Every structure is written in structure tokens, then in C-alpha cells.
Structure 1
């Protein structure tokens, strides 16, 4: 398990994980160029304070089939489908570990806590 020490961890029974701040970590499908590819994703969303639009961002786990289909494209439109819903997004260039950036706006493909605290 990948963990890191955080000053907020003092007194916690378990250390924080870098996944603790994610809104969705799990399986999904990326539909690109009409081809559906099963992947793992980690997504997080936030409301942009300047324009008020809900934006969501994340990473798609390294996937050789996805890399082959996307090729050298720096940005490509895709559909992200999770067990919750499916939404349009943009896939960006991969990082050093072969994980593609993904971003979308408006309604995300994961459940959002809408309770008022």
C-alpha cells in the first residue's frame, strides 16, 4: 500500500493514503475511436470558484491497448463510463509511468456528495 506521512496523521490509527482525497477510484471503460477499453481510474472533482463550473480530473491507469489506440495524440475526446454513469472527457498525454491524464466538466461519471454540512 502506498502511503505517506502527513502532519494531520498524528493520532490516527492508520496513515493517510494518497487516494484518501479522491472521489472515485476503481474500474471504468474508456471509449475512444469507437473502441471500449476496460481501465482503472482515479478521479476527483471540484467546483471552479471563478466560473462556477464543476470540473473533474484524474488519471487512467497504464494500459497498453489504450496507448496503442491513442498513439501520439496530445489530447483526444473520449467517453468515460463507470458503474455510476458515462460522460465525455478529454484524455491528455501520458505521464512517465504511462498513466493518461483525464479531465471533464459539468456532471462527472461518479457520485458526488451533495449533502450540506
Structure 2
């Protein structure tokens, strides 16, 4: 695995609440935009799944650093799709 991919533990922060999750993410540099775009999904998390189903769309994702993350509809396996821009939170 290289820096453009990450699989492992992360924390999703929603206000004062923290969700410890496993994530699978990948990043790519967009030269025209001059920034990274990254996306992936969490493993199953019933509490996070419920919040996203009720309309939650923004949170903080923490791996080795923090980044704003957009949350999308849950996937068929109970995980939540994630995407963001800028430096990926697993880059050191």
C-alpha cells in the first residue's frame, strides 16, 4: 500500500461524539485543481449509519491529522461513503 491509499483505524467526530471506525480510502492529485481529492468508506457502524440516514452530511475525519469530510448515503454493507478535498488525513 502507498500513501495514496489507506486502510485502518480512524475517528469520525461529530460535535462532541466520536466514532471509532475502520476505513478504506484512496487519494489522487488533481493537477488542474492543484489539490488532492480523496474518497472511500467506513466499515459497518450502526450509530453512524443511523445519523447519516437522518441527514448528517459533514464531520471531521481523524487519522494522523484532521480533515473535514463529507458523508454520503450508507452502502449496502452498513458502512458510510466518505469524500474530501485537500491533504488526506492519513498523509504524514
CA distance in 1, matches of 2:29, 2:81: 19
Deviation at 1:33, TM superposition (A): 4.0
Counterpart residue number, 2:73: 93
Higher alpha-carbon Rg? 1
Q: Which has the higher contact order (CA 8 A, sep 6+)?
A: 2
Aligned to 2:90: 110
**Counterpart in 2 of 1:81?**
62
Give the whole-Å Cα distance in 2 for the aligned partners of 1:101 and 1:50.
25
Q: Unmatched 5+ residue regions in structure 2? A: none
TM-score by length of 1: 0.68
Residue aligned with 1:65, SS:
helix
Q: Secondary structure at the match of 2:73?
A: strand
Structure 1 range deviating more: 52-61 or 64-73:
64-73
Root-mean-square deviation (CA, aligned residues, Å) is 1.9
Higher strand share: 2
Q: 1:57, 1:63 → 2: CA distance?
A: 18
- The count of corresponding residues between Structure 1 and Structure 2 is 91
TM-score normalized by the length of structure 2: 0.85
SS in 1 for 2:88: coil
Displaced runs of 4 or more, over 4 A: none
Tell me by how many angstroms 1:51 deviates. 1.9
